[in-house]
Structure 1
Amino acid sequence: MTEQDLAFVLNRCPVLEKLLMTGCRWPVCLRTRSHSLRLVEVCQCIAPEITVVNAPRLERLLLWEAWGGGSLTYMSSKIKIGHAPKLRFLGFLVPGMHQLEIGNTAIKAETKASPNTIVPSVQMLAVQVKLGTRIEARMLPSFLRCFPNVETLYVQSVNDDFKFWGPQAAGTGKLNLKFWKEAGFIECVQRHIKKVVLREFRGTRSELDFLKFIAEHARVLEKMVIVLTHGHSPSDPVATNLRTRMTSAKWANACCELMIFKTPFAQEGTTWCYLSAFNLSSTDPFDVSKCHDGTCQSH
């Protein structure tokens, strides 16, 4: 199906509320102009560009393995957000692959927050990132500044040795806590985030530094949820080291609860339940722990 064919179908579905694209192996660009759509989900598709042009009722833009075109070493994809005043759920954005544009502004590592670079309606954001690779993780603060009112943040931690997407895949250079301290003011972190979920935790220094940064700057943080990668349990040395490091942190909110869980799945890689996320009655489309019906897609 070409971009024109897809636009033709959407233009003639004036009451369509939900759109799911899954398993598309032929590149297709999705440009959304709809006064009825409330949910758009793109799962395991080759999508060089996903653009929300005008979607006044859109509440959820959900992406999972929405790769760009090209070869396995260059899979950059554009995610453009235009008019979507009710957009509340967004992710998974991949700073190492997705080129984010807000309005007519391309978001770069040095981009500062301004009325032209923010989407204030987003309350739940999910990102997939290699926290230990500078050229990828340095985009994360800029992405977070685009969504100043986020209350729940999901972080899918990717192994730094995993090389799959975008021109940034060749980037090296490790990060430390100093990098995060020099990131500057991030409004959602310091004023609005109440819950952070980090999945696929391996116990790397970069993960620990990121979590310490969040703990010491998130003033209203109520829960920090850590889901260990496959093969680890809350009683092993990885979890013990995590508790030790976080105990030494100067928590911005001393009442915040640290929760550590074993992954609920029998294999490495977080599972994405695209059918569960497709349900508008679900209050958290990124929570895969409640999906037990065998419909999940593995990363």
Structure 2
Amino acid sequence: MLPNFLKCFPNAESLHIVCARCTEATSLVSPNFWDDAGPIKSIVSHINVLTFREFKGEANAISFLKYFVQNAQMVKNVAVVLANPQFTSYSIDTLWTVKILKFVKWASKDSSMQVYRSDDPEGGLIWSFQRGLDYAIRDPFVH
């Protein structure tokens, strides 16, 4: 469903994803899911900022991040905010999973990735309600 949704916005320049809490089991996507979805124009040639909040290291999320960094030719900044371990279950291995992305061949040569850890259930300082209300800031998710 997400690939079809993203294809509806071919000129999107920013992508902000929040992993929602889910009480039901979700199915795992196949390792080739994103490759089988075909090229997504916005990811390949327009998106320059990705913010991924409440990251827990789930296989589906890792699969998407790998696809994204390997295909996003215009991305400048990727920010991953790890979920607060007090409010969700994940191990310290999650941090290493994100850092592994630094060793994947990125489509963009001029990009950077930051990894943050949330200190509260709202996502920490990177997710500021005040920044979201400030219309003078073009993109409240980017520092």
TM-score band, normalised by shorter chain: 0.7 to 0.9
Output the TM-score relative to the length of structure 2.
0.80
- Which residue number corresponds to residue 14 of structure 2? 152
Large movers: runs of 4+ above 6 Å: none
Output the TM-score relative to the length of structure 1.
0.41
Partners of 1:147 and 1:180 in 2: CA distance? 17
What code does the residue aligned with 1:239 have? Answer: L
Higher relative contact order (CA 8 A, sep 6+): 2
Q: Name the structure with the higher helix share.
A: 2
- Which residue number corresponds to residue 89 of structure 2? none
Deviation at 1:148, TM superposition (A): 1.0
CA contact (8 A) 2:57 2:94 kept: yes
Q: Whose radius of gyration is greater, 1 or 2?
A: 1
- Which residue number corresponds to residue 29 of structure 2? 175
What code does the residue aligned with 1:143 have? Answer: F
Partners of 1:278 and 1:202 in 2: CA distance? 27
- Which residue number corresponds to residue 43 of structure 2? 189
Partners of 1:240 and 1:172 in 2: CA distance? 23
When residues 247 and 283 of structure 1 are mapped into structure 2, their CA distance, relative to the original with a 3 A threshold, is closer
- Which residue number corresponds to residue 162 of structure 1? 23
Partners of 2:48 and 2:96 in 1: CA distance? 24
When residues 243 and 278 of structure 1 are mapped into structure 2, their CA distance, relative to the original with a 3 A threshold, is closer
Deviation at 1:283, TM superposition (A): 2.0
- Which residue number corresponds to residue 99 of structure 2? 243
Partners of 2:134 and 2:102 in 1: CA distance? 38
When residues 186 and 278 of structure 1 are mapped into structure 2, their CA distance, relative to the original with a 3 A threshold, is same
When residues 241 and 185 of structure 1 are mapped into structure 2, their CA distance, relative to the original with a 3 A threshold, is closer
Partners of 2:131 and 2:63 in 1: CA distance? 32
For 1:149, what is the secondary structure of its paired residue? coil
CA contact (8 A) 2:28 2:59 kept: no
- Which residue number corresponds to residue 109 of structure 2? 254
Could you list the runs of 5+ residues in structure 2 that have no partner in the other structure?
Answer: 87-91
CA contact (8 A) 1:194 1:221 kept: yes
Q: Name the structure with the higher strand share.
A: 1
Q: CA RMSD in A?
A: 2.5
CA contact (8 A) 1:177 1:213 kept: no
Question: Between Structure 1 and Structure 2, how many residues are aligned?
Answer: 135
